[in-house]
Amino acid sequence: TQLLEQSPQFLSIQEGENLTVYCNSSSVFSSLQWYRQEPGEGPVLLVTVVTGGEVKKLKRLTFQFGDARKDSSLHITAAQTGDTGLYLCAGGETSGSRLTFGEGTQLTVNP
């Protein structure tokens, strides 16, 4: 079974600060997706990265897929209170079947 470890598990910062969330595995994934989830709702897709070393930017969010396709990071610049939520990474297996999720990083951005 492929496992994904996310760190940190909890993060509480002030508005305007920068932060990075990490997603690591000993396994290779064909793709990696980042989701954001609010309480009582389903995860909402932020980005998919497929190529090793790939970097994608979404406004203040920067996503990177490791060269070996085993790890990824999410960097948020100048965090806002609206960024508060559970951030989940999910790895796609080479067979194209299941997505394996990390345990999530609960981010709280304080005003």
Q: Which residues bind another protein (CB under 8 A)?
A: 6, 30-31, 33, 35, 40-45, 48, 50, 86, 88, 90, 92, 94, 96-104, 106
When the beta carbons of 97 and 111 are compared against another protein, the nearer one is: 97
When the beta carbons of 64 and 77 are compared against another protein, the nearer one is: 64
Shortest distance (Å) from residue 16 CB to another protein? 26
Shortest distance (Å) from residue 94 CB to another protein? 7
- In angstroms, the Cα distances linking 25 to 14, 18, 31, 72, 78 are 29, 24, 13, 9, 28
When the beta carbons of 18 and 33 are compared against another protein, the nearer one is: 33
Q: Tokens 């203040």 identify what position?
A: 60
Q: Residue 111: which of 69, 67, 75, 81 has the closest Cα? A: 81
